[in-house]
Amino acid sequence: MKVQQILDQKLKNEILSVSPDTMVFHALEELEKHNIGALLVMEGDKLVGIFSERDYARRGILKGRPSKESMVKDLMTSPVITVSPQTRIEECLTLMTEKHFRHLPVVVGEQVKGMISSSDIFRAILTQYQNLVSSLEGYIAGRPM
């Protein structure tokens, strides 16, 4: 399975983002509003970073930077590691595990196509295995596959 298949299965594949000059408090409100763990940081159409709950915890709270006085650009992760729609999900999972993060922007050239999370990947893998089990159960029961 490839990243594009995950993007196709997501109900809403809207690109949620903030600008680098957004106040951290506002970015945190957006995370809560959409029940997500990370936002892309964009300057116009250009991806310049990613802001996550982990960024806020490690570079904000632990460093004594108040969310109402700090800008996203001061806490975001940059540069951002990205994948293409043709990247295999196993590669994404390996990358996320090795680099210790849970979100990957999906880009083609410089154009952002979406973002996938480790939860999206786990859901896709689980669906694959459930389909395989159903097929094997059907085969064992003598039903055509």
Q: Can you give the residue ranges of every domain in the chain?
A: 3-140
Residue 33: partners with Cβ closer than 8 Å, 6 or more residues away: none
Question: 82: pLDDT confidence band, cut at 50, 70 and 90?
Answer: very high
**Per-residue model confidence (pLDDT) at position 145:** 58
Global pTM reads: 0.85
Query: Which residue type occupies 130?
Result: Q
- Residue 52, both tokens: 């996550």
CATH fold of 3-140: CBS-domain (3.10.580)
Share of the chain above pLDDT 90, in %: 77
Name, in order, each residue with C-beta under 8 angstroms of 126's C-beta and a sequence gap of 6 or more. Answer: none
- The H or E element containing residue 128 is helix 118-140
